A and B are shown apart, each in its own frame.
Chain A
Amino acid sequence: MTVKVFYNDVNVGDEMPAWSRQTDFMHWNRYAAVNDEFVPFHMDDEAGRKANNEQGAFGMGNLRYAYIVNALQDWIGDEAEIREVGCQYRAINQKHDVLTVTARVTDKKQDGDANLIFLETNVVNQEDQGTCPGHAVLVLPQRP
């Protein structure tokens, strides 16, 4: 049992360590297999082009969402909890994109027993384009 981040140690403006994945069919097919998400434009270049993406097949929004959740969870560890995560899908996840989840603390406050941290999040590609702006609320333990 290890606490990775204490509420007391987090300040507005702090940034979460970056968390990255280079995505392609190896990632998308595994995700399709667990989420039963065999949508043609995620599976096949021709279907992707028919869906107006000239580069072909593209990645699932749900997988990008999973990356945000995983990045937050890796940062805070198992003794803290994710209360809320939201995002908007603004750009396509192209094949071989390097996606990096970023998060910056925008606020912190105590609500009853809960020590809340508020963050603005995004998933940025290798061209530094934000593809998925959003927010998160975390509950962190307090340093004894």
Chain B
Amino acid sequence: MAELQESLVTEDMGTRKGVWSDGRRAPPIARSDIRRWAIATYWPEEPPRIYWDDEYAATTRYGSIIAPPDFNPFAWPVQRMRTPPGAAAAPDGRRLTSMNGGQTDTYGEPMRADDVITSRSRLRDWEERQGRNGLTLFVYNETEWRNQDDKLVRLRVSTGVQFEAGHKR
């Protein structure tokens, strides 16, 4: 029988808390990426014209095609980011199951074709609770996106849920 974990918080988390990562820059947003994103997320219905029709978009308050708010310009990087060490292991090295617990996005400037978005992230905070999966660690990460004019595009607070592997959901 596994011993009860006293805490799933690692020393590394304490070091990283509140420290912004180096900025990452996405390639310029391509119009066809916007169109494809909209088609995929509205499938099988036709996506709104603001995402693909120049003529229509010019009549709106945006004046041009914009990307859906949830569009991800960082998809398909040539070089893959590595998961920070210790992100899914308990202090004693035991493997943890990690799940996406949710997110809150606050939106600023819309993304447009040719925008270049820069991202930086930090570990904001965490809390531990006993739940149906045993001791569970909720990790809150903050990611900020800005465009080439340094205007805030999106602030995401995401919740990562970690618990000892082997607990049934």
* A-to-B contact residues, CB < 8 Å: 1, 21, 26-27, 30-31, 33-37, 52-53, 61-63, 65-67, 69-70, 73-74, 78-79, 81-89, 132, 134-135
Contact = CB atoms under 8 A, between A and B. Distances in A.
A83 B70 contact: no
Nearest to A31: B40
Interface residues of B, number: 34
- Sorted nearest first, the 5 A-B pairs with minimum C-beta distance are A86-B104, A88-B102, A30-B40, A66-B41, A36-B75
A30 B45 CA distance: 13
A97 to B, nearest CB: 15
A30 B100 contact: no
Contacts of A66: 41, 68, 70
B83 interface: no
B60 A78 contact: yes
Contact of A63 (B41, B159, B169): B41
A61 B100 contact: yes
A35 B104 contact: no
B40 A33 contact: yes
Contacts, number: 92
A86 B105 contact: yes
Nearest to A133: B102
B55 to A, nearest CB: 12
Contacts of A70: 41-42, 68
A73 B48 contact: yes
A134 B61 CA distance: 28
19 contacts: A31-B40, A31-B41, A34-B36, A34-B75, A35-B40, A36-B77, A62-B70, A65-B70, A66-B41, A66-B68, A70-B41, A74-B48, A78-B50, A81-B107, A86-B102, A88-B101, A88-B102, A89-B99, A135-B104
Contacts of A67: 41
Interface string B66-108: 0011101001110000000000000000000001111111110
B62 interface: yes
Contacts of B125: none
Contact of B60 (A1, A27, A30, A73): A1
B39 interface: yes
A107 B104 CA distance: 18
Nearest to B66: A78
A52 B168 contact: yes
A22 B77 CA distance: 30
B42 to A, nearest CB: 6
Contacts of A86: 102-105
Contact of A87 (B41, B103, B169): B103
Contacts of A31: 40-41
B59 to A, nearest CB: 5
A52 B102 contact: no
Nearest to A132: B102
B128 interface: no
